[in-house]
Structure 1
């Protein structure tokens, strides 16, 4: 029999993260497109981002039939947060009078994210943006596949911190930190140090 779960954060009730999840407003609209294989991960950072941002949503799938309508949402300029040679480094809005961004964020392994772009030509066609100087990941439970790799939540926080400076979105990382600490406690410090230590 499975343990009862919180309907909102999907964590076991004894480890509910809801009290740590903020409700932050942002000028930027954040839309996370999550590959279905990511939904069952214990560290589902995309869900935390969608819960902690008022102007965000999480969509799960590989093919998104309503993408044209989503990208035509009035009041936003859609861009894809995804690295690549043609990706522009994000800059703050500052005095920018243009429409705020709708930041489309694929969530999945690199291979699965690329497949989502391939299966959704409208995504592939979007202007791409990327982070400039990437802060080191706090994701101590996973070896990064390459330097500068961060979790989906961390990428969103860093993007919003750049776009909407001086506003800061680090409060979104509080439930993430608690989640990681809980996982480390569950595996035991010795096991964590052996498998993930320096």
Structure 2
């Protein structure tokens, strides 16, 4: 509802628009500003997958202009997103019947994760089950940890935690796969955007995963290319730089002692 129009009130004059409104006109298809419209990069038809993808979208992330979830759900036929801070019964019809599922998140001491390359679907499948559900959490690193912690009690009943297997808190942030894909500064090496994480996972899970991954990464690269002129330089965080320096010193000392 228009905040400037009360119910039953009629305006005879057009409501003035600010320069920002003109500057931020939005594409009706990809829902991105026209200046960075991605329609030309999207597949003519959403890509079909045997895996069903569900993304839990943090409310704050859902408002962020660099979120990759809207583009991901437009690119994949079987990808959907829901906004919230945790998964529970009744939140998604897709999960209510406890399908075989995996959720993407790095290992912690209390909650280890299986490297997705070592994951065996047959260990989850049961007679009459539908295909695999891949669950991802789209949020800042801090919020994602909170979302996973709040959801694990529910997910542990039917889902397995998996990771891409390349996260390293000792290394400064950024995509480990391709520096071209960095949209925002990540907290440590191995953290990637939701779209990249799903693309890397589908490479392993889908029969034609290499082609699907290439298509999604191509869209993401174009998104980054278009956005590049508007991004601020991403300086490494001091704490991460210190950790990286300590690691280099340790490796140097180890080499000398050896």
TM-score between both structures, scaled by the size of structure 1: 0.80
Which residue in the other structure is 2:194 paired with?
Answer: 152
Q: How has the CA–CA distance of structure 1 residues 122 and 95 changed in structure 2, closer, same or farther, with 3 Å as cutoff?
A: closer
Match of 2:57 among 23, 34, 59: 34
Match of 1:67 in 2: 91
Unpaired segments ≥5 residues, structure 1 = none
Aligned CA RMSD, in angstroms, stands at 3.0
Correspondence for 1:47: 70
Q: How does 1:42-191 map to 2 (within 5 A)?
A: 42-64=65-87, 66-67=90-91, 69-73=93-97, 76-85=99-108, 86-91=112-117, 98=125, 100-120=131-151, 121-123=153-155, 126-132=159-165, 135-137=176-178, 138-168=180-210, 169=212, 170-186=214-230
Q: 1:178 to 1:62 in 2, by over 3 A?
A: same
Query: Structure 1 residues 89, 52: CA separation in 2 closer, same or farther (over 3 Å shift)?
Result: same
Structure 1 residues 118, 144: CA separation in 2 closer, same or farther (over 3 Å shift)?
closer
Residue pair 2:106, 2:165 contacting (<8 A) in 1 also: no
- Higher mean C-alpha deviation, range 124-133 or range 104-113: 124-133
- Counterpart mapping for 1:10-29 below 5 A: 10-22=31-43, 23-29=46-52
The structure-2 alpha-carbon separation of the partners of 1:144 and 1:116, relative to structure 1 and needing over 3 Å to count, comes to closer
Q: Which moved more, 1:46-55 or 1:60-69?
A: 60-69
How many residues are aligned here? 191
Change (3 A) 1:108 1:163: same
Give the TM-score taking structure 2 as reference length.
Answer: 0.63
Q: 1:167 to 1:140 in 2, by over 3 A?
A: closer
Partners of 2:194 and 2:92 in 1: CA distance: 23
Q: Structure 1 residue 13: deviation in Å? A: 2.6
Relative distance call for 1:92 and 1:83 in structure 2 (3 A) is closer
Q: Deviations over 1:46-100 (max 9, x none)?
A: 22111110011011122456236431358x4122111114211214889959453
Question: Aligned-pair distance for 1:110?
Answer: 1.9
Distance 1:163 1:63, change over 3 A: closer
Higher relative contact order (CA 8 A, sep 6+): 1
